[in-house]
Homo-oligomer: A and B are copies of this chain.
């Protein structure tokens, strides 16, 4: 259970009585700093048994020293709090490029050697620890999936605080300590995260302790928050709902123990306040007003304890300490001597025994078992509990196979199943939306839960409560980041967005996909639930929002990631969406992107057909075509004159209407209709695990008949996926070609050459031997008429003519 995280094993009560001397905290800190410097510089001689020579030094000096001492200071003090209090704590490291520090502390914790047995807790292990860092065949220079206890990659900055809040949700009793670099604090996503406590319930959720680390500099610039008056900084944090605790230290050669004393005080006050907040909330205070959360501001010099002046340039306390303070160690004997003095300044002989093992005195600061931040199952353990997946049958819409095409709203239907899913999984399934849950027609979830809201609630508010499984704020970044934090700590969720605006989180998607790609190679990480997107309010139905809301390009971003982790589904109707949904919530370690419409739209498949269709991923819809002798078991037994393929609800409607048109006007033409719901089926099986084998692909798409493919997104994507297929040269794709405006649905497909007439003409013009058929001229005439008549009607009346809106499918 989520609430018990980190309290099992041999940790807990007996550890909570101890009190740790600050000298031990300092020793841990020195050890972590020593190990950080060692990782950046040393290939050998980890314990300085002999004077350093150029051969001991790595040929390429890579890594970030500047932030590392601050990260280790926090780590040591959190360890102290955990040891003294037994409070399960997760460390989210915003300045994750300070990888050396995070790795150093996890090695001191003992966790690193447990998870990577060749990196032992001794001299040889230390040598390997140093050598592997930011080294070919080794480990990344950032906190990464390879870093025990981490759920936050340190490369692209901005997401630490949202990951922290996501981790805290539904993890009562957990403290998520989140170090935020003052560089990262300038990013938009981080700036939007400060208020995420507005969704936190102090009783049923954990707590987040932001630790804003002001070391004053980014790569090459001072940071904004370090250069404003302290009074303004305090107002900023108070204005975001926090009560700041200020710790400044390490300047002007201040004694380190004095800094430790202040930091220990701040941590103690923070943990006590968090406990008080929880207790007060449990006693009812939270229902009256939200708490004011503690936050620590830690101001220390960048590169603290590193070289002061190098070659006449001040390094410690400036941006020159950001990466490698001594750059010429291999060539410059003075630099080499400075490095050795720097390493020896930590007095390694007091910290490691003759075999390189951390001295027993450090044991006092090492939490036991799962309480170690590097060993917490919250970060490393994977899915806490599998989802209970309700049956979707009761939610399916009635479709009569003899009279297909009745109207239904896909996302509304899905929402009723989603409500059941959330009812069945109240503690570990959440829905996140940028104020678009209702707009995307998912309001049925409010029959079973509410939106979590810690701020003021007023009498007229709807579905706002102190507890609830839905979270909404107008920030795609924040919603995505909370969901990522929630998933990476073992829970389940869904994010919904307008299709166009999911581009806002392209880069977050990229980084999450990369995390999954890398984590797949980390044996000790548990599986995590897939990140599921439901994109609605899509490109074809932005009737009043227009051009700025018309962009289906997220799919292009998605398919560039490794095939092992990405899936794209385009269910054409409600029952197919239900089947897709039930499938994607049952997957792990992936990103599933589902695009579905919210508007009234024809329904095609029965629940059983939809289930089979999703299992197959694509298939022939014989009832929509006109192919004599078609055999569903052996599609290759017949060869149609033309294949009309489609993916997406609007293209599917136009395709079916085009097939109907062809049936009417060219009754002899053998037309096969293929619908694709699992887009990756199109890709070569050597490129994607869902790729359909060539033989099956050829049987369905034929080896030589023209294929007119009506696609939801940019046409190039279909070519990109299918270009290795036998029949690719006959594949002609229509899709969104960046023509949009405020207009009617038919005008949109028409503008982009995706309307039924255009598709029908595409088809007949590519079938040999049809030239001169009167039906072709009829369709062409209809097309020309439709263009003019529909446009005129729309311009005159503001809506499509009745022959479009009233079109009905007939099985012919």
Q: Which residue of B lies closest to A157 (CB)?
A: B474
Partner of A238, one of B154, B232, B744: B232
Further 6 A-B residue pairs, CB within 8 A, beyond A136-B794, A142-B545: A135-B795, A155-B549, A187-B475, A219-B438, A222-B453, A506-B557
Q: Note all chain B residues with C-beta closer than 8 A to A186.
A: 192, 195, 473-475, 478
Which of A273-281, A387-395, A456-464, A651-659 is found at the contact surface with chain B?
Answer: A456-464
Q: Note all chain B residues with C-beta closer than 8 A to A553.
A: 510, 557, 560
The answer on a CB contact under 8 Å between B798 and A455 is no
The answer on a CB contact under 8 Å between A232 and B224 is no
| Most B C-beta atoms less than 10 A away, residue of A140, A144, A183, A478 | A140
Given A135-B798, A186-B473, check contact A228 B560 (CB 8 Å): no
Provide 22 A-B residue pairs closer than 8 Å at the C-beta atoms, listed in order of the A residue: A59-B797, A137-B795, A141-B544, A141-B545, A142-B548, A154-B548, A155-B548, A155-B549, A158-B188, A183-B474, A187-B188, A187-B474, A188-B190, A188-B192, A221-B435, A233-B239, A235-B239, A503-B506, A504-B507, A506-B506, A560-B716, A719-B720
Q: Note all chain B residues with C-beta closer than 8 A to A714.
A: 560
Task: Give the complex CA separation of A228 and B192 in angstroms.
Answer: 15
Task: Give the complex CA separation of A516 and B472 in angstroms.
Answer: 32
Q: Note all chain B residues with C-beta closer than 8 A to A729.
A: 729
What is the total number of residues of chain A having a CB less than 8 Å from a CB of chain B? 118
- Is A308 an interface residue, CB under 8 A from the partner? no
* A785–chain B nearest beta-carbon distance, Å: 18
* A793–chain B nearest beta-carbon distance, Å: 9
The answer on a CB contact under 8 Å between A137 and B743 is yes
- Is A189 an interface residue, CB under 8 A from the partner? yes
Given A503-B506, A553-B510, check contact A62 B543 (CB 8 Å): yes
Q: Which residue of B lies closest to A137 (CB)?
A: B795
Given A506-B503, A723-B719, check contact A544 B192 (CB 8 Å): no
Task: Give the complex CA separation of A218 and B436 in angstroms.
Answer: 10
CB-CB contacts below 8 Å: A716-749 with B: 716, 719-720, 723, 729, 738, 741-744, 747
A: which residues have CB within 8 A of B? 43, 58-60, 62-63, 97, 134-142, 144, 153-158, 183-184, 186-192, 194-195, 198, 218-224, 227-228, 232-241, 314, 318, 435-439, 451, 453, 455-456, 458, 460-461, 464, 472-475, 477-478, 500-501, 503-504, 506-507, 510-511, 514, 517-518, 543-549, 551, 553, 556-557, 560-562, 714, 716, 719-720, 723, 729, 738, 741-744, 747, 791, 794-795, 797-799
* A794–chain B nearest beta-carbon distance, Å: 4
Task: Give the complex CA separation of A504 and B159 in angstroms.
Answer: 12
| Most B C-beta atoms less than 10 A away, residue of A237, A551, A561 | A551
The answer on a CB contact under 8 Å between B798 and A136 is yes
Task: Give the complex CA separation of A134 and B543 in angstroms.
Answer: 8
* A621–chain B nearest beta-carbon distance, Å: 28
Q: Note all chain B residues with C-beta closer than 8 A to A142.
A: 545-546, 548
Q: Which residue of B lies closest to A443 (CB)?
A: B220
Q: Which residue of B lies closest to A438 (CB)?
A: B220
The answer on a CB contact under 8 Å between B544 and A136 is no
Task: Give the complex CA separation of A195 and B706 in angstroms.
Answer: 58
Partner of A546, one of B140, B500, B503: B140
Q: Note all chain B residues with C-beta closer than 8 A to A514.
A: 547-548, 551
Q: Note all chain B residues with C-beta closer than 8 A to A139.
A: 742
Q: Which residue of B lies closest to A544 (CB)?
A: B62
A-B pairs with lowest CB-CB distance, top 5? A155-B548, A236-B239, A188-B188, A62-B544, A191-B191
| Most B C-beta atoms less than 10 A away, residue of A59, A138, A144, A455 | A455
Q: Note all chain B residues with C-beta closer than 8 A to A153.
A: 548
* A239–chain B nearest beta-carbon distance, Å: 3
Q: Note all chain B residues with C-beta closer than 8 A to A477.
A: 187-188
Q: Note all chain B residues with C-beta closer than 8 A to A561.
A: 738
Q: Note all chain B residues with C-beta closer than 8 A to A224.
A: 195, 198, 455, 473
